[in-house]
Structure 1
Amino acid sequence: MRIQVLRLPLVELAGIHEEPFALIADQFDGAPESQQTLMAFAEQAGARALWMTGETVEIVETPEPAVLETLAADDDHFGI
């Protein structure tokens, strides 16, 4: 069994930024005691969701656009 993190879209509410995530438990054997332990762990860690599967899942992170990095590094150029 592997545990992977799936980053979800950034949430902003009243000036507070939150980066929600889900946990993916792949190659899972399905043992009931493992399910209960994983569910408790996901809740304590603050995961929005937990997906358990016996299959192999590869999480592919989408890179942030290079434009955001350029703007953040060059704020003075834009008069911000």
Structure 2
Amino acid sequence: MRIQVLRLPLYELGGVSEEPFALIVDQAPPEGDGWSMPALAVFAEQIGARGVWVTPQTVEIVDQFPPEIVDHVPFDDPVTEAIDDGG
């Protein structure tokens, strides 16, 4: 069983940049080896992963290092908008 990190595109929300990621668990044996699906989901959530994919197949992450900045539209900060609108 291998655990790999799949980096997702960088994005900005309210002036804070974040680089999300997902965990890819490949070559996973059937449950019963101590790494159950719920345990992996909890682990992924605890470390901040956006999700986890578990498969018995072999998965090769082709581009482990995507561009640092991806063209995106920054989201406005909802708190700032509420203050600007008098709310």
Q: Normalising by the residue count of structure 1, what TM-score does the alignment of the two structures yield?
A: 0.72
Residue pair 2:6, 2:61 contacting (<8 A) in 1 also: yes
Structure 1 partner of 2:38: 36
Q: Deviations over 1:14-55 (max 9, x none)?
A: 110000000000001130651222111101011101100000
Between structures 1 and 2, the one with greater helix share? 1
* CA drift at 1:63: 5.0
Structure 1 partner of 2:74: none
Relative contact order higher in (CA < 8 Å, ≥ 6 apart):
2
Show structure 2 runs of 5+ residues with no match: 70-87
Structure 2 partner of 1:48: 50
Q: Percent identity?
A: 58
1:39 and 1:49 map into 2 onto residues whose CA distance is 7
Counterpart mapping for 1:6-21 below 5 A:
6-21=6-21
Show structure 1 runs of 5+ residues with no match: 69-80
Inter-CA distance 60–28: structure 2 relative to 1 (3 Å threshold): same
2:66 and 2:48 map into 1 onto residues whose CA distance is 24
**What is the Cα-based RMSD across aligned positions, in Å?**
2.0
The alignment covers a number of residue pairs equal to 66
Match of 1:64 among 59, 64, 67: 67
Structure 2 partner of 1:73: none
Amino acid paired to 1:64: P
